[in-house]
Amino acid sequence: MLTAVALLSPLATAQQGQTLRAGELTVTLTPTQPDSNGWYRAGRLELQGTDEGIRGVETSRLRGAVLGELSPDGRWLSVLGTGGGYVQLWNVATAERQFTFLAHDKKSYDARLAAFSPDSRRLVFYSYPNELSLWDTATGVRVKLLSDVRKGGWWTADADAVFSPDGKTFVVTGGGGGAQLFDTRTGDLLQTFDRPCQSFGPGSPGGFWRGAVGATFSADGKNVAVLYAGGAARLYGVAGAGALAKASWKLDNFKPSQMRFWAGKLTLNGRELSGKTPNGLSFTLTF
């Protein structure tokens, strides 16, 4: 059964402001108005519920619409912006900026992802169009430049990172490429999953619309399901290279262009994969 749900894109949410809550802590990010070029400049960051009450600071030198995420242990707050090419890491207890993770190639300008590992010791950072990297949150040092090994499709990728339940590995997906499995501690590439050659029919665009748009692990961490644009899905074993099972999905009135703004978590329960499309339609498929 398909149900419609209204969803805001991350950029739209950021431009309207964002509030994060974890226990007694409330974090509010308020962007300023855009300048003549349409960029949202540095906004206001407020942390309420710390030992000394409300702490307000300016997210200085952060261009673009700010987006924030709290680390699982509640120690860190990541703040990134479109137009900046970097992500700031804030210490929640002191309300001080601890590190700035910067795209090294000077060509990446649009920070889109800052995903924490379950133990909060690693952060996967993606800045469009070229930079994908793994960082140590304790030292602020880049562990590895993942885009050196994940070739192909980054110029059109909307990257996402999903960690295994034990946090030892993570899968990166992106609209312009396939899916790959990395070691969380070292950043080593462990496995590249095959990419099905499917499209939306005659006259459809090429490889971009066949890329991986989402992934999730099984509860025991032994399998990972990957959802691909174009209607394909694959179930893989993390210890092997081949697909264990294949499935397909199709929704009426679903436009290929919506795949660029995937939203909502995927859930793998046994051989049943469920989730939501960018326009809020729920789906379930069985491998």
- pLDDT tens, residue by residue, 227-282: 887 778 899 999 876 788 998 876 655 555 555 555 567 899 999 998 876 667 77
- pLDDT tens, residue by residue, 19-54: 777 667 777 777 655 555 555 555 667 777 766 666
DSSP letter for each residue of the chain: ---------HHHHHHH-EEEEETTEEEEEE---B-TTS-B---EEEEEEETTEEEEEE-TT--S-EEEEE-TTSSEEEEEEBTT-EEEEEETTTTEEEEEEE-TTS---EEEEEEE-TTSSEEEEEEETTEEEEEETTT--EEEEGGGTS-SSGGG---EEEE-TTSSEEEEEBTTS-EEEEETTT--EEEEE------SSTT---GGGGSEEEEEE-TTSSEEEEEETTTEEEEEETT-SSEEEEEE---TT--GGGGGG--S--EEETTEEEEE-TTS-EEEEE-
Between residues 115 and 210, the one the model is more confident about? 115
Mean pLDDT to the nearest integer, 163-190: 89
% of residues, the chain, pLDDT over 90: 24
- pLDDT tens, residue by residue, 57-89: 655 555 555 677 889 998 898 887 666 677 888
pTM for the whole structure = 0.81
